[in-house]
A = this chain, B = another copy of it.
Amino acid sequence: MRKAYVLGVGATKYGKLSLQGRELAAQAALEAIHDAGIDARRIDGAFVANAFGMIEKQGHPGPLLMTSLGIPDKPATAIEAACASGGSAFREAYVNVAGGMSDVMLAVGFERITQVDTVTATGYFSYGSDYFCEGGNGASFPGLYAAIARAHMQRFGTTEEQLAQVAVKNHANAALNPKAHLPKRITLDDVMKSMYVAHPLKLYDACPFSDGASAAIVASEEVARELRKADVLVAGSGRAGSIASLPDRGDITSIPGAQLAGQQAFRQAGLAPKDIDVAEVHDCFTIAEVVATEDLGFFPRGEGAKAAEQGRTARDGDRPVNTSGGLKAKGHPVGATGLGQVVEATQQLRGQSGPRQIPDAEVALTHNVGATGGSCAVHILRRA
């Protein structure tokens, strides 16, 4: 396979937005096209990540996007892998370019969900679980991740205060991100005093429901060099899964698909966890970030929470995680999330992250998880 580069990225602000999903998608795509410095006609095709199109009664978003971009003849395929839809769309854009089918591919993720109430939204999210076994029996995602948190606490002594530190850190990062949904600093006390949504997880342990869109353009080396944009290489792509239903697994303190996808990406990139300068991981709940940092090998099993408490994942720590604010505070517009991670990773490698910049970041990782790990996508980007 040939080399592929991130040619351009774009994103809307995340939050409670009034635009239609198709408008959000177009806005992010146009920003990525502008960032890439190309004419839209150079795009060979697109993957569009979206999970809750049913809310807008739009189940076929690809042609809507391409029509908006003035390239209706170009194919666009919608991708769904629950909350890993965005990372999966990026993966297929990469495969199409690296495999030689296309020279320039667009990956766009978008979601519009805040126009329904929280209970309805939680219900829609549960369609991402094994609904017959989980969601349909009342196990919503707060409940499933609470089970993971309890198991982690019992096995490793992880505390609620340690989890709360993840939220405090990610809000501090989001406060420096003008596109974040919740750009406000919070204190440990704020988290600890927030109401339980599923014990031991509290409101501030959970990401918000967000609207928004993010996009990335992947191009062949030839195109990237022609445009003098061969600066962010897709060095590794991993994609794996786990048993769909959490209760059907044995140990639930890690996510096997995320471990495997991470290993695949590291192997392809020829890199190790210690080489990652900055990582965007899937922190739908604070416990998810802790598990992610262990699954990726940043910290030994059971030590992720302690590492967070010690500030090792802060911007000035030795292993900065979620400089964007993460799902927790930047927001979680489901289809957009994995591509928003690529936006942050790319901007960090280019030195465009302003007050959130990790100095001299050379290697970045994105980690996107669908449901409790049924779908996992890990990518490693490298400054070239």
Indicate if A257 sits at the interface (CB-CB under 8 A).
Answer: yes
Known: A72-B242, A74-B241, A75-B240. A375 touches B81 (CB 8 A): no
Cβ of A374 within 8 Å of any chain B Cβ, yes or no, is: yes
With contacts A80-B80, A99-B1, A99-B96 taken as known, whether A242 is within 8 angstroms of B73 at the C-beta atoms is yes
Please provide the chain A residues from 33 to 53 with a CB less than 8 Å away from any CB of chain B in the complex: 45, 51, 53
In the complex, A130 has a CB within 8 A of chain B: yes
Residue from the set A66, A72, A75, A241 with the largest chain B CB neighbour count within 10 Å? A75
Question: In the complex the two chains form, is A60's CB within 8 Å of B371's CB?
Answer: yes
Residue of A54, A59, A124 contacting most chain B CB atoms (<10 Å): A59
* Size of the chain A interface, CB-CB below 8 angstroms: 65
Is A122 in contact with chain B by the CB < 8 A criterion? no
Chain B residue nearest in CB terms to A52? B59
Q: Is A131 in contact with chain B by the CB < 8 A criterion? A: yes
Q: Give A89's nearest chain B residue, CB to CB.
A: B77
Residues from chain B with a CB closer than 8 A to the CB of A371 are: 60, 63
| Residue contact A62 to B374, C-beta cutoff 8 Å | yes
Residue A92, interface by CB 8 Å: yes
Residue from B63, B88, B127 in contact with A374 in the complex, judged by beta carbons closer than 8 Å: B63
Known: A74-B241, A98-B101, A257-B73. A375 touches B80 (CB 8 A): no
The answer to whether A92 and B63 touch (CB under 8 A), given A54-B54, A132-B20, is no
On whether A73 and B240 interact (CB within 8 A), knowing A80-B59, A95-B99, A245-B67, the answer reads yes
| Inter-chain contacts of A261 with B (CB < 8 A) | 75
**A73-100 contact mask (Cβ, 8 Å, vs B): 1 or 0:** 1111111111000001001100110111
CB-contacts of A120-144 with B (<8 A): 124, 126-132, 135-136
Q: State in angstroms the CA–CA spacing of A72 and B370 once bound together.
A: 13
- Which 9 A-B residue pairs are closest in the complex by CB-CB distance? A99-B99, A63-B374, A59-B127, A78-B80, A63-B244, A75-B239, A60-B82, A72-B243, A60-B128
List residues of chain A with CB under 8 Å of any chain B CB. 1, 20, 22, 45, 51, 53-54, 56-60, 62-64, 66-67, 72-82, 88, 91-92, 95-96, 98-101, 124, 126-132, 135-136, 239-245, 248, 256-257, 260-261, 370-371, 374-377
